[in-house]
Amino acid sequence: MTTALRRLRNYIDGEFRDAADGRTTEVVNPATGEAYATAPLSAAADVDAAMAAAEAAFPAWRDLIPAERQKVLLKIADRFEERAEELIAAESENCGKPVALVRSEEIPPMVDQIRFFAGAARMLEGRSAGEYMEGFTSIIRREPVGVCAQVAPWNYPMMMAVWKFAPALAAGNTVVIKPSDTTPASTVLIADIIGSVLDELGHSRGVFNVLCGDRETGRLMVEHTVPAMASITGSVRAGMQVAESASKDLKRVHLELGGKAPVVVFEDTDIAKAVEDISVAGYFNAGQDCTAATRVLVQESIHDEFVAALAKAASETKTGAVDDEDVLYGPLNNANQLKQVKGFIERLPAHAKIEAGGEQVGEKGYFFAPTVVSGLKQDDEIVQHEVFGPVITVQSFSDEKQAVEWANGVEYALASSVWTKDHARAMRMSKTLDFGCVWINTHIPLVAEMPHGGFKKSGYGKDLSAYGFDDYTRIKHVMTSLDG
């Protein structure tokens, strides 16, 4: 006897629909390794329908005064709070995340971020109007770019959807968003929430659309002629493909593509406090975070003590069932990701040493033990490439110069942290570290008011903050003659 799978659907122009050709994919709960739902495998006809709906809804949404768009976003935030338990359940099943952590660490910041962008809608920035040529007045208009094609990742499907739709809608754009094929459930629920709010306040439901599907669906969205902007959070490879596809008709592109965050620990650091914070920042969400504290550089004088303390912290860190309030993280998101993490461990060079973990946990699901690997060199694969799992690597450096060289010596440049009691050193490091964020004596906190985004192969464009809002706008210069 088998349990019937729940049927998820696309959300297009205010209606939940199957794929036009009826194709579906199975959605697997990573905590059990078993399918619990089916989702549409959207193709060209579905993309056409969603883009047409967003395009038709754009003029009226664009022309709303900012205060009206703010009302919608504030109501969406309220509804997120009212339906929080539904969102928590969907995301936990989506990702195998511990229920208690979704409730405490995801719902509150998502609600706050939506409310932040509701306010940003009414704070359009531009240079002062004035006479910059005799007899003429110049003004700046900040306008929405149009329809936005957005692709969200599987590590934080619910929160990353918020990071994409909230600034886009606040700025006056309409949205077609695609969740990962492994995590569509919470985004489909978000569509129900947003659609109901748009209905209640008398706006077109075509303002927000959700397409489920795979990479081909995402490619069709990016290459479609309607969107003026494509936004993706994903791998470097995916970002390069999006940039190439978008270049064919010069779409604006917004890319957040991963990281390999250096965590630079100097000898004057409080080791116990640093280990406590770094282990949480490295293992939270099973290390499936582009900013995760997974590449630690420790000054050689405290290396052995630090590694011993970190290995002990790893051994005390718990992964497990979604309803266990003592676990820090759940499973890896999918079978392919588990295979990738295992592969990094299997290919470790002979000089590397596994200080803790290094193996799969449990008989079902995709759980992996909190892991510490020491003895690594700068050019080792596991140092240079993103593992995206609960694996913290440790290298030993001699001085500040070498720390900077090794910290910057990767292709990614999203986030970093420095651990020291020396203020001057912290300021020097914050200047020389080539990353979009530098934390000092902490790692991973984010706030809606500050930007999140990187350099180099971590992509370009900012999420969160007024900078993230600005990315979803375009600038127009209007000049008028004073001669009448």
What's the rounded Cα separation, in Å, for the pair 164 and 178?
A: 11
Give the three-class secondary structure for 147.
strand
What's the rounded Cα separation, in Å, for the pair 107 and 38?
A: 25
Is residue 290 among the annotated active site residues? yes
Which residue among 93, 106, 223, 256 is the active-site one? 256
What's the rounded Cα separation, in Å, for the pair 130 and 278?
A: 51
The answer to whether the CB of 167 falls within 8 A of the CB of 449 is: no
Residues 12-31, buried b or exposed e (16+ Cβ, 10 A)?
bbbebbbbbeeebbebbbbb
Is residue 359 among the annotated active site residues? no
Which residue among 212, 290, 355, 437 is the active-site one? 290
Between strands 208-210 and 174-178, the pairing is parallel
Q: Beta-carbon neighbour count of residue 395 at 10 Å?
A: 23
Q: List helix spans (H) across 379-459.
A: 381-384, 400-408, 423-432
Helix 185-200 vs helix 66-82: crossing angle, to nearest 10 = 130
Give the three-class secondary structure for 237.
helix
The answer to whether the CB of 282 falls within 8 A of the CB of 392 is: yes
Give me 345's structure tokens.
Answer: 């461990």
What's the rounded Cα separation, in Å, for the pair 231 and 308?
A: 42
Q: Mind telling me the catalytic residues?
A: 256, 290
